[in-house]
Amino acid sequence: MNPDFLIIGGGIIGLATAFRLANEGAQVTVVERNIIGAESSWAGGGILSPLMPWQYSPAVTDLCDLSVARYPDWIASVQASSGLDAEYWDCGMLVLPPYELEIAQNWCQQHQWQSELVAARDILPDMAEADALWLPGVAQVRNPRLIKSLRGAVLDRGVKLIERTTIMPMLADQHSIKHVNTTNGRLLAGGYITCAGAWTQELLTNQPPAKTIKPMRGQMLLFKTQPHVLEHVIYQQGIYLIPRLDGHILVGSTVEDVGFDKSTTPETRHDLMSAAFKLLPALSKATLVQHWSGLRPGSPDNVPTIARHPEIENLYANAGHFRYGVTMAPISADLIAEMILGLSPSMDITPYQWN
């Protein structure tokens, strides 16, 4: 039997969408070119917040705020279905100067975000003397574990996963898509939902584009230390350190416009290491375990497309989440499912329309 919905792309957005639709009783198939969750969703840091939220438009921060509010219940439901811990951790984030102190404090006040000015040294004894902004409400999740947990959860809900299969660019027959061609034959469904991350535009070659979505490379380092060396995310001028519960520490990240090139560079490794050692001198004694890059689905102003195609009635996009797709996953899945199923939307969806 053909599924009700075919989801193209098995990253966090595709999996979260599949989970929500399957929870509503829909028959769902996810088709992934590679293996589930091995692209941007694996490569990311898992901070559940925009890095300096006061620098973004409400289209980004409203989406993130509602998603973050839903995260604890969403994670609990994913973990209960899969039996796998995603390591959700409300570890807080410390923003170190220079940053726009007054703008930041006003923004936090207006958005009911808890914030506090602290001496950085009270939190991290190794830090230089400076006032830092402590944001205790910022949480994180461990991406690779979240992917595994989501994979288990959708399988538990009866979602079919097809890996190592590429969907070819989609051709619409007037106002609907009848089928898609893949590297393993033809697939049919009632509705088609593009969750193809940085590759979204390639799939839609003969369609009016969604908001321009293009790959934006991010390089990341992973160190191994003892647990408790760092217990909060710290951020300073584009560089962040993310501790994991077992003592791993991530250092990121670059934002590079280099097309679909996923290589890493020695210059960036050097730059990230220098910045990280300055922030946390203890890290210079730790082992560098890995250096990788991922391709974020870059969109103008970080605003994703969560929408039905303007002319093709059974084509949808949930894509272009750029720097904050892990944060935005639960609400994006809810919004696209509400749209498809005719339910009232959780929030105003105007900013996320197809161009």
Ligand X SMILES: Cc1cc2nc3c(=O)[nH]c(=O)nc-3n(C[C@H](O)[C@H](O)[C@H](O)COP(=O)(O)OP(=O)(O)OC[C@H]3O[C@@H](n4cnc5c(N)ncnc54)[C@H](O)[C@@H]3O)c2cc1C
Q: Which residues bind ligand X (CB under 6 A)?
A: 8-14, 31-34, 38-41, 43-47, 166-167, 195-199, 203, 218, 220, 252-253, 294, 296-297, 319, 321-327
Q: Token digits for 29?
A: 């198939």
| Closest residue by Cα to residue 203 from 169, 178, 226 | 169
Min dist CB 19 to ligand X, Å, is 13
Distance of CA 301 to the CA centre of its chain: 15
Do the beta carbons of residue 32 and residue 147 sit within 8 Å?
no
The sheet with strand 160-162 has its strands ordered as 160-162, 28-31, 5-8, 191-194, 315-319, 305-308
Min dist CB 321 to ligand X, Å, is 4
Report the residue number, 96 or 167, with the smaller CB distance to ligand X: 167
Report the residue number, 68 or 283, with the smaller CB distance to ligand X: 68
Report the residue number, 120 or 197, with the smaller CB distance to ligand X: 197
Report the residue number, 279 or 326, with the smaller CB distance to ligand X: 326
3-state secondary structure 222-288: EEECCCCCCCCEEEECCEEEEECCCCEEEEECCCECCCCCCCCCHHHHHHHHHHHHHHCHHHHHCEE
Report the residue number, 127 or 336, with the smaller CB distance to ligand X: 336
Min dist CB 51 to ligand X, Å, is 8
Q: How far apart are CA 250 and CA 241, in angstroms?
A: 6
Min dist CB 119 to ligand X, Å, is 26
Burial letters for 34-55: b for 16+ Cβ neighbours within 10 Å, e otherwise? eebbbbbbbbbbbbbbbbbbbe
Report the residue number, 46 or 243, with the smaller CB distance to ligand X: 46
Burial class (CB in 10 A: 0-12, 13-18, 19+), 85: middle
Report the residue number, 133 or 331, with the smaller CB distance to ligand X: 331
Q: How far apart are CA 178 and CA 313, in angstroms?
A: 11
Min dist CB 104 to ligand X, Å, is 19
Report the residue number, 46 or 79, with the smaller CB distance to ligand X: 46
Min dist CB 253 to ligand X, Å, is 4
Do the beta carbons of residue 279 and residue 241 sit within 8 Å?
yes
Min dist CB 345 to ligand X, Å, is 20
Report the residue number, 108 or 242, with the smaller CB distance to ligand X: 242
Instruction: Name residue 290's beta-bridge partners.
Output: 222
Burial class (CB in 10 A: 0-12, 13-18, 19+), 112: exposed
Min dist CB 311 to ligand X, Å, is 21
Min dist CB 110 to ligand X, Å, is 22
The count of other CB atoms within 10 Å of the CB of residue 342 is 6
